[in-house]
Amino acid sequence: MSDNHTPRALGEWPEGFRSGFTSFVGRPNAGKSTLTNALVGQKVAITSAKPQTTRHTIRGIVHREDAQLVLVDTPGLHRPRTLLGQRLNDLVAETLSEVDAIGFCLPANEKIGPGDRFIATQLAQLQRKPIVAIVTKADLVDREALAAQLIAVTELGNQNFGPNGFAAIVPVSAVKEFQVQEVADVLVQQMPAGPPLYPDGELTDEPEAKMIAELVREAALEGVRDELPHSLAVVVEEMVPREGRSENNPLVDIHVSLYVERSSQKAIVIGRGGSRLREVGTNARKGIEKLLGTKVYLDLHVKVAKDWQRDPKQLGRLGF
């Protein structure tokens, strides 16, 4: 978000870094897109276009010194009235599996209506998912009206999410840039600890590949982080939808290379008889399937690339 932070490579991140996915919901015109743009800025807007492999679109990424927030679209909760029954429940369940927190946008200048209440009841089904209420367009009302709306929103939260209500309530004006930073702050507070999911500031049309690489890397480091300090790089070589699958049951073949520096490290990653690598594959696959919303066949190959960290050519190939 800020213009003056130092670019950082994947693989290096400060203590206490948080990262995760969030999504804005709210009825049409609630100010979701404007807020997204205000948070992300023009510079790093990212679009993801892979309809056959993913059902959500990445709207943008907030890069901060202490966190990375990936803003994703959740189609369906935007226009609740056109969706009914099972379909909606599926979408809600999908949202549940994909994001770490939800920003529920409610305009300051409009009374809470049936559309908002409908969304609230749907969100209430997402147990233990933090919901942050964002009172948008705060510049359009005076202080008194804003205070009244904050009280009404608090009540909506208590009615739908039990006595604790919303995880937080923040007024904002994306247009006047009032409290935009605070919106980012409260969402970041809801994110789990973890590494950046994307390279800092990079524009890419293949964000999934980066996230998949990171999921594999995390799974491969699990439990052996000390033995493989900075010696593991992961590259997604290929992602192809499996041919001949029905539209309702797609499968994506993903081929991934894991680069280590020494054969002793290769042995650690693979484990006895390949047992560890199988576990790494299973764990990474679960995360990838959540991310893409489809079944995945994950093929992992461990390779030794000597001194890759010091070789610019290799580093380039590994996406650093």
Per-residue tokens: 214: 């990171």
137 is in an annotated binding site: yes
Q: Which of 129, 311, 287 is nearest to 233 (CA)?
A: 311
Interface with ligand GTP, residue 223, by CB under 6 A = no
Say what the alpha-carbon torsion angle 287, 292, 293, 296 is, to the nearest 10 degrees: -70
**Residue number, 36 or 265, with CB nearest to ligand GTP:** 36
Identity of the residue numbered 259: Y
Say what the alpha-carbon torsion angle 22, 24, 25, 29 is, to the nearest 10 degrees: -170
Interface with ligand GTP, residue 26, by CB under 6 A = yes
**Residue number, 26 or 281, with CB nearest to ligand GTP:** 26
**Interface map 157-186 toward ligand GTP (x if CB under 6 A):** ----------------xxx-----------
- Pick from 94, 139, 182, 185: which binds ligand GTP (CB under 6 A)? 139
- Pick from 20, 31, 157, 165: which binds ligand GTP (CB under 6 A)? 31
* Residue at token pair 């029905």: 246
Which residues, other chains included, contact 242 with Cβ-Cβ below 8 Å and sequence gap of 6+? Answer: 250, 251, 252, 253, 297
- Pick from 8, 11, 34, 283: which binds ligand GTP (CB under 6 A)? 34
What are 35's strand-pairing partners? none
Interface with ligand GTP, residue 59, by CB under 6 A = no
138 is in an annotated binding site: yes
CB 224 within 8 A of CB 268: yes
Interface with ligand GTP, residue 78, by CB under 6 A = yes
22 is in an annotated binding site: no
* Residue at token pair 């023009």: 42
Interface with ligand GTP, residue 32, by CB under 6 A = yes
Q: Which residues bind ligand GTP (CB under 6 A)?
A: 26, 28-34, 78, 136-137, 139-140, 173-175
